[in-house]
Chain A
Amino acid sequence: MNEKTINRRIFNNKLYKIFVSSFSFLSIIPLFLIIYFVLIRGIKYINLKFIFSMPKPMGELGGGIFNAIVGSFIIVGVAALIAIPIGIMVGIFLSEYKEKKFTEIVKIFVDTLQGIPSIVIGIIAYLWIVKPLKQFSALSGSIALSFIMLPLVIKSTEEVLNLVPVDIKEAAYALGAPYHRIVLKILLPSGSVGILTGTLIGISRILGETAPLLFTAFGNQFLNLNLLKPMSTIPYLIYVYATSPYKDWHNQAFAASTILIIIVLSINLLGRFIEKKWKT
């Protein structure tokens, strides 16, 4: 092996490291670019009035996004109330009935559910809720979002329950405890942090979802608290304002995005933080 080939190999190795590192760093630049531009264009329009007042009619300057903020919290809250209990039950099922063939099928179905494009979920909520009730409604939006959140809760529950040591369960069995109490009083509490993480990540995900709301919750210029009526949400408002021809609405879209991105990323980071804290 002569010196020339050695040097070439060392050079190639360095080149590889430089290439891989720089492409990696380039890939996270969009994260900062997006956050930077959204914040820089949005933050100056954010004030208490923007948060707490209602939108002005189309074309008029000013106004706020109070109805959309309230709407987002209601719709996401209802979606979480649907998805969390069902998700936890399915998660328990998957981790407790591991050997069954049926469990494998359910697992594949959960994966598939997670892979369905969110716009298709929107169609389903439209067909199942909006069409029979003959009107757009917050409830249909919540149901669509719960379908998106469901697989996330299921998977984090299953994963964390699989990590609970067998001897904890066996100790409980040895004490003669009935099965449902073992699951609810021993397994679930020892996995609660993982479930919380999954829930937070799920909420941060559906808080930003727009596509499934386009023809379910739709939007509403007014503050609405009725689940059976159309309701506005922050992401929906961003979409409508961004694609409108009004400069003022564009600015408001950036302001609303600033609020949304801060909420979503904070919840997301909080979820990760709790998970890391707990795992170590």
Chain B
Amino acid sequence: MENIILKIINLNAYYGNQKVLKNVDLEIYENRVTTILGPSGCGKTTLIRCINRLHELSPGARIEGQILLKGEDLYQIEPMIVRQKIGMVFQKPNPFPTMTIYDNVIAGYILSGIKLSKEEKDKIVEESLIKSGLWDEVKENLFKKGTFLSGGQQQRLCIARALAMKPEILLLDEPTSALDPVATSVIEELIIELKKSVTTVLVTHNIGQAGRVSDYTAFFYLGELVEFGKTTEMFTVPKSKKTEEYLIGKIG
């Protein structure tokens, strides 16, 4: 039996008058990787931006419906707290260019003015970088700028930065779309590895990636949730015609 950590109930999201998500109901299970799959423009990025409340920052953006994290309505809590509990990694690696690698990892603490002792900081930095598989590559250069790293390393630094906040859910918004195949496979292995400690929601339009890393897949088309189920099942016997067409490359 799976544990539901996040429950999305009848979610509608808008940019101005444009409705980009329509009546979405979705459950995310604890310590599993769930893929949000679909062609571009289907609202997948909007969905995860609703989950950590980044959506509302865009001009004219608003939502209807509920998103419950362990039964608690995310839209009744301060957005800053929501974002600390739900980490996010973006399409393009975005380490803070003015900070060192070390400071990038603990950036969440620096930004919100949380005072940590030297030992605590060192511990968080080491743990997070180990989890993101970057420790061995950067431990000699912790006090160099993060922007000197390669694209794949930068993206893992961003994952470390999100993990450092000990989030309950990690949102990955097409994290490999700007990376080469080698860096991509490193990140994919990392996602599988991370499953032990954190629930992951992965947005991708890459069917192969969804198949390789995820336990569950939600297929979106034109703002609607078409099908949700175990990845293995959906990829072998899709219930919906739309899903099947997408999987064999007819739409997308």
Residues of A whose CB lies within 8 Å of any CB of B are 1, 5-6, 9-10
A1/B113 in contact, CB under 8 A: no
What chain A residues lie within 8 Å of B112 (beta carbons)? Answer: 1, 9
B114/A1 in contact, CB under 8 A: yes
The proximity string for B residues 67-88 relative to A, scoring 1 for CB distances below 8 Å and 0 otherwise, is 0000000000010110010000
Chain A: minimal CB distance from B109 (Å): 10
What chain B residues lie within 8 Å of A5 (beta carbons)? Answer: 113-114
What chain B residues lie within 8 Å of A6 (beta carbons)? Answer: 78, 80-81
A1/B84 in contact, CB under 8 A: yes
B113/A9 in contact, CB under 8 A: yes
What chain B residues lie within 8 Å of A10 (beta carbons)? Answer: 78, 80
| Closest residue on chain A to residue B112 by CB atoms | A9
Which 3 pairs, one residue from A and one from B, show the smallest C-beta to C-beta distance? A6-B78, A9-B112, A6-B81
Chain B: minimal CB distance from A154 (Å): 33
What chain B residues lie within 8 Å of A1 (beta carbons)? Answer: 81, 84, 112, 114
What chain B residues lie within 8 Å of A9 (beta carbons)? Answer: 80, 112-113
Chain A: minimal CB distance from B142 (Å): 25
B75-128 interface (Cβ within 8 A of A): 78, 80-81, 84, 112-114
Q: How far is the CA of A263 from the CA of B98 in the complex (A)?
A: 47
Count of B residues near A, CB < 8 Å? 7
Main secondary structure of the interface of B (DSSP, over half): loop
14 contacts between A and B (CB under 8 A): A1-B81, A1-B84, A1-B112, A1-B114, A5-B113, A5-B114, A6-B78, A6-B80, A6-B81, A9-B80, A9-B112, A9-B113, A10-B78, A10-B80
What chain A residues lie within 8 Å of B80 (beta carbons)? Answer: 6, 9-10
What chain A residues lie within 8 Å of B81 (beta carbons)? Answer: 1, 6
B111-150 interface (Cβ within 8 A of A): 112-114
Q: How far is the CA of A5 from the CA of B78 in the complex (A)?
A: 12
Chain A: minimal CB distance from B38 (Å): 33
Q: How far is the CA of A48 from the CA of B112 in the complex (A)?
A: 65
| Closest residue on chain B to residue A10 by CB atoms | B78
What chain A residues lie within 8 Å of B78 (beta carbons)? Answer: 6, 10
Chain A: minimal CB distance from B83 (Å): 12
Known: A1-B84, A6-B80. 12 other contacts (CB 8 A): A1-B81, A1-B112, A1-B114, A5-B113, A5-B114, A6-B78, A6-B81, A9-B80, A9-B112, A9-B113, A10-B78, A10-B80
Query: Which of B78, B84, B114: most chain A Cβ within 10 A?
Result: B78
| Closest residue on chain A to residue B79 by CB atoms | A10
Q: How far is the CA of A9 from the CA of B112 in the complex (A)?
A: 8
Chain A: minimal CB distance from B108 (Å): 11
B144-174 interface (Cβ within 8 A of A): none
Q: How far is the CA of A171 from the CA of B84 in the complex (A)?
A: 54
Chain A: minimal CB distance from B72 (Å): 15
What chain A residues lie within 8 Å of B114 (beta carbons)? Answer: 1, 5
Q: How far is the CA of A10 from the CA of B113 in the complex (A)?
A: 12
Q: How far is the CA of A1 from the CA of B77 in the complex (A)?
A: 14
What chain A residues lie within 8 Å of B84 (beta carbons)? Answer: 1
